[in-house]
Structure 1
Amino acid sequence: MKRANTISRSVEIGLRLIGLWPDSAYATFYWFSYMLSIVIVQYCQYAYVLDHLEINDLVLLMDCLSLTLAYTLAFFKLFILWWNRRIFYRIIKDMNNDWKDCIVNDSYIFTMMNMADLSRRFSNVVFTIYGSGAFFLSIGEHLLQSLSDVNRFGNSTRELPLKMKFPFEVSESPIFECFLIGQFIYDLSIAFVVGLMNALLVTLVLHVSGQIDIMRQNLAEISKGKYDHSTFLIIIKDLISKHQKIIALSENIENLYNQIALMQFLWNTIVICCTGFLIIITINTNQDISTLIKSVNYYIAITLEAFIFCFAGEFLSSKSKSIGDAIYESLWYNMTANDSRILLFMMLRCQKRLTITAGKVIDLTLDEFAYMMKASASYVSVLNAMY
């Protein structure tokens, strides 16, 4: 039998490794150790950025700054998720209760299993995309850079793909190889955490979507069966209770992710701008193909991350509106005035759509994603004109 949980096994393992899964062993130790490693690497990255903070070397500055800011964003997102871990634990508990209710009904379990399968496939795709991005940012970029230097100069330079400043020389063997492998593991872990947060958001939204589909099935059953006042009151009471649970679960997801979404919206605008500018300069100056491949792959990953957040908010909003449509399509005109008035109140509540906001300021929608891309493109044009 398939695993009766919307959260995939890979996402659960990732949450356990960073100490965020409920009742996991040594959770605080895992979280503190991982955050400490990020802080150490970030110190070396920002030291390098400050040393090369010159307008004359703008391409190098944009290259290292875009990666450094992206890793800083991952650090803050992970910290916010840990800070709101009690909300996350409550969400997991509510999801487990929903699955317990679905197991007793075959029609409900089929709907939730479809959502769980979709969640697992999406998680696998996200981890694959970000894993390949980590490869091109470290080992793949180093190999392409080495081949390019050998063909041009007859020897290869010793330069780490992730720009950092160290208090000692790292270009000699075997120190260079050790740091190269360490950077690859670091890039892979950061990519995994970023993909983990994106997959978790989509998983939670899909779970809410499955509960909404179950509620719509119940509303359809009212229309199919013969109307009976006493039976209707029992069914509608359960539907109102389920609707309140859906609203509460959606609000918890919003409270868990609204600060993360705000940082995502502001930070990604800057990172996409820096990466887009680097791609334009690389094409115009005919630089190494390794820089272009790395930048394009990284640009796709960052843009995909912003798109996932906005699409999740748009999908949740459209799903919440579908409850009102299902109520309207029911046979409310065959009911008594008092019973149809109850459905009217439910329709009015559905007018306030469920959504995910960026800091409770703006709703995450596809329109906001388009606005962010337009803003980034405007900043890129300004930088290109200055350069």
Structure 2
Amino acid sequence: MMPNRSISRLIVIGLRLTGIWPGSSYEIVARCIWIFITMFVQILQYRYIIKQINCGNLTNVVDGLSTALPYSLLFFKLISFWINRRLFKSMLMKMSQDWINFSKFNINAMINKAKLAYRYSKLIMSVYAIAVFTYAGVFLEITRQNQDDELNITSRQLLIKMDFPFAYYESPLYEYVFVLQFFQLLSNASAIATLDALIITLIFHVGGQIEMLHEALENISVKNHKSLRNIVKPLINLHYQIILGSENIENLFSYIALMQLLCNTLIICCIGFLIVVVFNSHMNIEELINISLFYIAITLEAFIFSYAGEYLSNKSLSISTSAYGSSWYLLDPRDRRIMILLMIRSQRQLKITAGKFMDLSMEAFAKVSLIFVTNKCAFKDI
């Protein structure tokens, strides 16, 4: 497969390890491993939730649900990418060809956007890694305090809420389970960070093409109006590639964004309930920090999708302004009509939707975040 200058090495490694990257020699093996481990973990997680429902412990049910839903969401994302592997492969091939086909333009804008995507990818993965290590560190501190207060080892808690069919609290089995859960949590966080960084990279690639189109439109001047006929066709082709690229992103991430929105709404409600419980009970600062870190990670994922949709929408609308500000009126009547059609077509907003139901935007993110505040106030009243 052709090398892709838009996607960083970190994302490529993550896509290979999750069995998404096309042409990987261990693609099938990676998928089977993810399916087996994820299904095994999910069974244990939902066993715990069902057990707590039977016991009537609402706090533990909400706590277990808030950690099980992100795993289910990640599994849905992986399956969606595996099903749409042909679409994803064609997108990667097209991105590689873009660097060759548009060499006639000034591609500095695409280079700058690619560098920016690299930085954002590193930042996203660093935030998730820091969140996992901090979460594990705070959990160990809480466990140490509980062991100092209670000598009963059966009260030991797991890093991830699960219901094992054996007694896990005896040493050294408890330590082995903790280490396995930590690496499993780290691998899931890395997979989530990889997919989040991927959508940012794809959006910035389209944004680089739009910036390149802006610059080409600005270069239309009175001095070279006689040669404008040779410029119109590449501009129209570039605009078509921008539309095609955004539609491919929409087809790939639309239903993923819908599940993301639904799961994030449920998880944020669960986290709001847990925060209220912590405030109204023993007010353990460590547990509050742990829940807050989890809330930040979930909110960050929703923010990334909303930011990507907002960025694409705003960038697509700016094409019409740049085209109108160019010297399109110096063209021959035939080419002038083509430029007018470009302006009309660019007024149609490019966007990413959540299952074709709603547009991803910062407004949608604000509504989801408002759910957290609303439910927190409602739980306090209860």
Same fold? TM cut 0.5:
yes
Aligned pairs (5 A) from 1:1-387 = 5-53=5-53, 57-102=57-102, 104=103, 107-108=106-107, 110-137=108-135, 139-153=136-150, 158-223=156-221, 225-228=223-226, 231-386=227-382
In the TM superposition, what is the alpha-carbon distance from 1:69 to its structure 2 partner? 1.0
2-structure distance, mates of 1:50, 1:384: 26
Instruction: Output the CA distance in 2 between the equivalents of 1:240 and 1:327.
Output: 11
Contact residue 276 and residue 379 of structure 2 kept, 8 A: no
Kindly state the Cα deviation for residue 315 of structure 1 after the two structures are TM-superposed. Answer: 0.2
After TM superposition, give the deviation of residue 195 of structure 1 in Å: 0.8
Say which SS state the counterpart of residue 5 (structure 1) adopts: coil
**Distance apart, 1:33 and its partner CA:** 1.1
3-state secondary structure, aligned to 2:156: coil
Aligned partners of 1:264 and 1:306 also within 8 Å:
yes
Please give the alpha-carbon distance, in whole angstroms, between the structure 2 residues aligned to 1:163 and 1:375: 25
1:133 maps to a residue whose letter is: A
Question: Relative to 1, partners in 2 of residues 1:37 and 1:199: Cα closer, same or farther, differing over 3 Å?
Answer: same
- Provide Cα deviations, 1:31-65, integer angstroms capped at 9, x if missing partner: 12112101100100000011111695332222111
SS of the aligned residue for 1:235 comes to helix
* 1:85-104 Cα distance to aligned partner (Å, 9 max, x none): 111101000000012235x4
Q: Percentage identity across aligned positions?
A: 39
Give, in whole Å, the separation in 1 of the partners of 2:245 and 2:185: 33
Secondary structure of the corresponding residue to residue 169 of structure 1: coil
Give the Cα–Cα distance (whole angstroms) in 1 for the partners of residues 265 and 183 of structure 2.
Answer: 27
Question: Matches of 2:335 and 2:148 in 1, distance apart?
Answer: 80
5+ residue gaps, structure 2, are: none
Which runs of structure 1 show a deviation greater than 6 angstroms over 4 or more consecutive aligned residues? none
SS state at 2:181 partner: helix
1:340 CA drift (Å): 2.8
Q: Which runs of 5+ in 1 are unaligned?
A: none
Give distance in 2, aligned partners of 1:132 and 1:50. 31
Distance 2:231 2:189 in 1: 46
Residue identity in the other structure for 1:309: F
> In structure 2, what is the Cα distance between the partners aligned to 1:131 and 1:351?
40
Give the CA deviation at 1:331: 1.9
Q: Matches of 1:340 and 1:210 in 2, distance apart? A: 25
Provide the rounded CA distance (Å) in 2 between the counterparts of 1:305 and 1:193: 12
On the 8 A contact 2:268/2:371 being kept in 1, the answer is no
Rounded Cα–Cα distance in structure 2 between residues aligned with 1:301 and 1:370: 16
Give the secondary-structure state (helix, strand or coil) at the position aligned to 1:160: coil
Supply the distance in 2 between the matched residues of 1:195 and 1:297 (Cα, whole angstroms): 15
Q: Does the C-alpha gap of structure 1 residues 366 and 55 become closer, same or farther in structure 2, counting only changes over 3 Å?
A: farther
Contact in 2 for aligned 1:212/1:246 (Cα 8 Å) = yes
- What displacement does 1:280 show? 2.2
> Deviation string for 1:158-202 (max 9, x for gaps)?
321211111111111121111100000110011111111110000
Deviates more, 1:37-46 or 1:154-163: 154-163
The two structures, once aligned, show a CA RMSD in angstroms of 2.0
Shift of 1:224: 6.4
- 8 Å Cα contact 1:274-1:380 kept in structure 2: no
Residue pair 2:258, 2:355 contacting (<8 A) in 1 also: yes
Q: Which moved more, 1:365-374 or 1:303-312?
A: 365-374
Q: Which amino acid in structure 2 is aligned with residue 364 of structure 1?
A: L
CA displacement 1:5-28 (0-9 Å, x = unmatched): 111100000001111111110211
**C-alpha distance after superposition, 1:282-341 (max 9, x if no partner):** 123234322211100010110111011011000001111111111011123444444332
Residue 4 of structure 1, CA deviation: 6.3
Counterpart contact for 2:142–2:286, Cα < 8 Å = yes
Task: Output the CA distance in 2 between the equivalents of 1:299 and 1:142.
Answer: 15
Q: Counterparts of 1:106 and 1:239 in 2: how far apart (Å)?
A: 10
Q: Deviations over 1:123-179 (max 9, x none)?
A: 111111111222234x31331112322554478753212111111111111211111
Q: Tell me the TM-score normalized by structure 1.
A: 0.93
Distance 1:355 1:271, change over 3 A: same
Shift of 1:219: 0.8
Native 8 Å contact 1:8 1:120 kept in 2: yes
Kept in 2: contact 1:4–1:113 (CA 8 A): no
TM-score, normalised by the number of residues in structure 2 = 0.94
- Structure 1 Cα separation of the partners of residues 381 and 79 of structure 2: 37
Distance 1:142 1:9 in 2: 32
Secondary structure of 2:378's aligned partner:
helix
CA shift for structure 1 position 120: 1.1
